[in-house]
Structure 1
Amino acid sequence: MRTSFFTSETIADGVVERDFQVGDAPGVLWSPASVSPGTPLVLMGHGGGLNKRSPGLVGRARDAVLRDGFIVAAIDAPGHGDRPRSAEDQHWVDTMLAERAAGRSMAATIAAYNGSLAERAVPEWRATIDALQELPEIGAEVPIGFSGMTLASAIGIPLAAVDDRITAAIFGGVFVYEAITRAARQVTIPIEFLLPWNDDEIDRESGMALFDAFASQDKTLHAFPGSHFRVPIERIDTRFFARQLRREGSIAA
């Protein structure tokens, strides 16, 4: 790996934080100060309109490093964070905001916008995994998980469907459309699925249908009151990746 892969590095409270760039996608890698061989890698996606340094994501990433000893990576989705939004993306965003303000269905716009973002972001995540696996502290055999709600799930479900390096995932709070359902039918890894039970924009029936569509034999549904705008942190099973990624062939918990 070229040293120029990383653009900056800071160390605070036992967490090493390094910025990197893979193609057009800027990212952040959080890791313990000392990394043992086989340490799991968790990919964390951000929600729509957020970015790789959103406070909630950074907090979860640091917790995963300090609590579980994991390495965590996040990248900006197209048109998010440090990446300029295209005119087409801006049109989709403006249309969604207008539909939300008028109380109209956003389903068709979100399906088109999220579908386009996933088509662009899935190859970027795969290129990021390629690059990270070249790092000596990660390597080609490291267990990999993916975690993320809303837009991150719209990207992560198609990613998990095509990249078998991802061996466990947490999804949820995602708008359901045909492409997402098709991708879910190809996902066979262990998953946890978070379902907002009182969401005005994502009905619970579509969420339960998507959960049912996953081909995974090991899958758990966590329903919680409220909407996808605020997920109670206690609803996220913090030991899920510790159980799934620290199995035979990886380091002991």
Structure 2
Amino acid sequence: MRFISQTSSDGVTEQLFTLDEVPGVLWTPEDAAGARPLILMGHGGGQHKKAPGIVAGAHRFVTEGGFAVVALDAPNHGDRPKTEEFTRIVAELRAGMVAGEDVAARLATMHEFLAEQAVPEWQAALTAVQALDLVGAGPVGYWGMSMGCGLGVPFTAAEPRVRAAVLGLLGLDGLAEAAAQVTAPVQFLLQWDDDRVPRAEGLALFDALASADKTLHANPGKHGEVPEFETGSALQFFARHFG
């Protein structure tokens, strides 16, 4: 793990790093010392580790919860090179969208392709960050919407260190097997008028999650119109499950 830069503002310290050539960012309270809960944040498709929604959420988790937060550039996103296979998958997905097709299966193919690489990368990042004195081996949560959910479901299923997850804005396609292995508490977000994910598919994914402790938050609005108060709700959810 190699740190590249460090800046601080408004009570938050931001450190950019690379881990085996995977670019990431760590946010902690300014002058943080000692162990604390850690939130891993997965960005959406076409975004990157410092997308505005990720940064805004991370700052709230740090300043209001005292948590540490990590985000990584997903494979083929952000500062990472795009492979020929990924470019082909995205081109087929976009062509289907333009043609007005149901692209759920194509979207699932893209997420499965990315998750194969992203899950072990997240596990390695979790191990490396928890080895830092200012983070430590405290409780871990995962937050991810849309593609962040598509990669987060298999990661949460595979990683027992994740004690709670906030997921949503995605359907069941390609995730049934992994969802059946998610047993950590989940708070699931669904946009009732989602223009990308059919409501029934989002409800099906929520239903498929094996967690005995899961809550559905449904709000009116389209895919990108999640109310701002849901960040505060996620903060309360993590704090409750971290004790």
Hey, what does 1:200 align to over in structure 2?
A: 195
Contact 2:33 2:133 in 1 (8 A): no
* Gap change, CA 1:175 and 1:89, over 3 Å in 2: farther
Alpha-carbon distance in 2 for matches of 1:235, 1:18: 26
| Count of equivalent residues | 241
Instruction: State the shift of 1:36 in Å.
Output: 4.7
Contact 2:29 2:66 in 1 (8 A): yes
Q: State the Cα deviation string for residues 217-238 of structure 1 (Å, max 9, x = none).
A: 1110001112223322223413
Hey, what does 2:177 align to over in structure 1?
A: 182
Q: Are residue 228 (structure 1) and residue 229 (structure 2) matched?
A: no
Counterparts in 2 of 1:27-176, with a 5 A limit? Answer: 27-140=24-137, 142-176=138-172
Alpha-carbon distance in 2 for matches of 1:191, 1:162: 15
TM-score by length of 2: 0.95
Alpha-carbon distance in 1 for matches of 2:10, 2:207: 41
Letter in 2 for 1:175: G
Alpha-carbon distance in 2 for matches of 1:40, 1:11: 20
Identity of aligned residues (%): 46
Instruction: State the shift of 1:24 in Å.
Output: 2.9
Contact 1:224 1:235 in 2 (8 A): no
Q: State the Cα deviation string for residues 13-43 of structure 1 (Å, max 9, x = none).
A: 2111000111131000000123353311000
Q: List runs of 5+ in structure 1 lacking aligned partners.
A: 248-253
The range that moved more, 234-243 or 117-126, is 234-243
Alpha-carbon distance in 2 for matches of 1:53, 1:39: 22
Contact 1:110 1:175 in 2 (8 A): no
Q: List runs of 5+ in structure 2 lacking aligned partners.
A: none
Alpha-carbon distance in 2 for matches of 1:173, 1:242: 22
TM-score by length of 1: 0.91
**Regions of 4+ moved over 6 Å:** none
**Partner secondary structure for residue 18 of structure 2:** strand
Contact 2:171 2:205 in 1 (8 A): no
Contact 2:35 2:133 in 1 (8 A): no
Hey, what does 1:12 align to over in structure 2?
A: 9
RMSD: 1.4
Contact 1:38 1:143 in 2 (8 A): no
Instruction: State the shift of 1:145 in Å.
Output: 0.4
Alpha-carbon distance in 2 for matches of 1:106, 1:206: 12
